[in-house]
């Protein structure tokens, strides 16, 4: 089903019948990815007295409570409200949902005891005003990412200069397959978040960061149409479902 999508600056022809989902499904068990020292999310039927809201237990419906944290338990999109004193909902940051995107696979470099993505490294793959959205796939890339336990793992992260370069290239929507663009334990500096959003100098209120995605190996590096959808949460972050479409 070939369709022409008209963006503010150009028209793209895509096949909407062939979506490439790069989100991670939320599961209420240990098979879910976990970060930030929390336990697994919970998806459990409502219980009231002896009544259990589960069809297999005699109820007429399945009626579950879900307990999770967007930042720790799966694919989520966040606004600059994640680091600002003022409340700012991700719903305000994301008003349109289709963007020209570029997928880039990067092997992190060694910096002392850390693994990082440098500006010099990214300059080989990203030019200024090329696309609105950048999707970073860290290498090696395995399905284990979909259920990895990230707490105390010191995952790879973006250097401040890298996040600044991404901002200067005109990227408004940054996606990465790690729990954060920043170092896990950085004493609250959040240098990459601050650089990308240009906070607090002149916050980019229409820019978003999406973390804990998973880009399958069948998705090749290159240009795509990105459909970035979020749940309607009045919160700094929301569970999200980024979907790519090949440009024909």
Q: Is residue 44 included in any domain, yes or no?
A: no
d(CA 146, CA 21): 13
**Pick from 23, 104, 28: which is nearest to 64 by CA?**
28
Q: Is residue 62 included in any domain, yes or no?
A: no
- pLDDT in the model for residue 1: 78
- pLDDT in the model for residue 182: 98
- pLDDT in the model for residue 57: 95
- Residue pair 12/22 in contact (Cβ under 8 Å)? The answer is no
Q: Is residue 239 included in any domain, yes or no?
A: yes
Domain of residue 207 covers 2-29+70-246
Give yes or no for residue 11 having a pLDDT over 90: yes
Question: Cβ neighbours of residue 231 under 8 Å, at least 6 residues apart?
Answer: 238, 239, 240
**In the chain, what percentage of residues exceed pLDDT 70?**
100
**Pick from 101, 166, 105: which is nearest to 133 by CA?**
101
Confidence of residue 39 (pLDDT cuts 50, 70, 90): very high
Q: Is residue 124 included in any domain, yes or no?
A: yes
Q: Is residue 63 included in any domain, yes or no?
A: no
d(CA 173, CA 79): 10
Q: Is residue 129 included in any domain, yes or no?
A: yes
CA 180 to centroid of chain Cα atoms:
9
**In the chain, what percentage of residues exceed pLDDT 90?**
99
- Residue pair 242/23 in contact (Cβ under 8 Å)? The answer is yes
pLDDT in tens, 82-137: 999 999 999 999 999 999 999 999 999 999 999 999 999 999 999 999 999 999 99
Q: Is residue 40 included in any domain, yes or no?
A: no
d(CA 96, CA 106): 28
Q: Is residue 21 included in any domain, yes or no?
A: yes
Mean pLDDT value across residues 37-41: 98
Angle made by CA atoms 164, 36, 198, in degrees to the nearest 5: 20
At 154, which CATH number?
3.50.30.50
Q: Total structural domains in the chain?
A: 1
């Amino acid at each position: 089903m070939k369709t022409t999508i008209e963006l503010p600056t150009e028209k793209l022809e895509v096949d909407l019948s062939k979506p490439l989902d790069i989100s991670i499904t939320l599961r209420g068990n240990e098979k879910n990815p976990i970060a930030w020292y929390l336990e697994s999310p919970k998806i459990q039927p409502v219980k009231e007295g002896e009544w259990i809201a589960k069809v297999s237990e005699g109820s007429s419906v399945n009626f579950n409570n879900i307990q999770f944290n967007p930042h720790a338990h799966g694919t989520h999109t966040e606004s600059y409200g994640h680091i600002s004193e003022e409340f700012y909902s991700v719903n305000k940051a994301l008003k349109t949902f289709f963007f020209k995107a570029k997928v880039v696979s990067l092997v992190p470099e060694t910096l002392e005891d850390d693994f990082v993505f440098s500006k010099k490294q990214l300059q080989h793959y990203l030019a200024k005003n090329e696309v609105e959205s950048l999707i970073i796939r860290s290498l090696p890339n395995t399905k284990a990412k979909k259920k990895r336990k990230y707490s105390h793992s010191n995952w790879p992260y973006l250097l401040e200069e890298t996040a600044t370069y991404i901002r200067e290239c005109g990227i408004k929507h940054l996606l990465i397959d790690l729990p954060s663009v920043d170092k896990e334990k950085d004493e609250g500096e959040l240098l990459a978040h601050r650089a990308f959003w240009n906070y607090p100098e002149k916050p980019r209120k229409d820019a978003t960061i999406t973390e804990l995605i998973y880009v399958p190996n069948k998705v090749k590096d290159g240009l795509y149409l990105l459909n970035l959808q979020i749940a309607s949460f009045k919160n700094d972050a929301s569970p999200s479902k980024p979907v790519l479409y090949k440009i024909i």
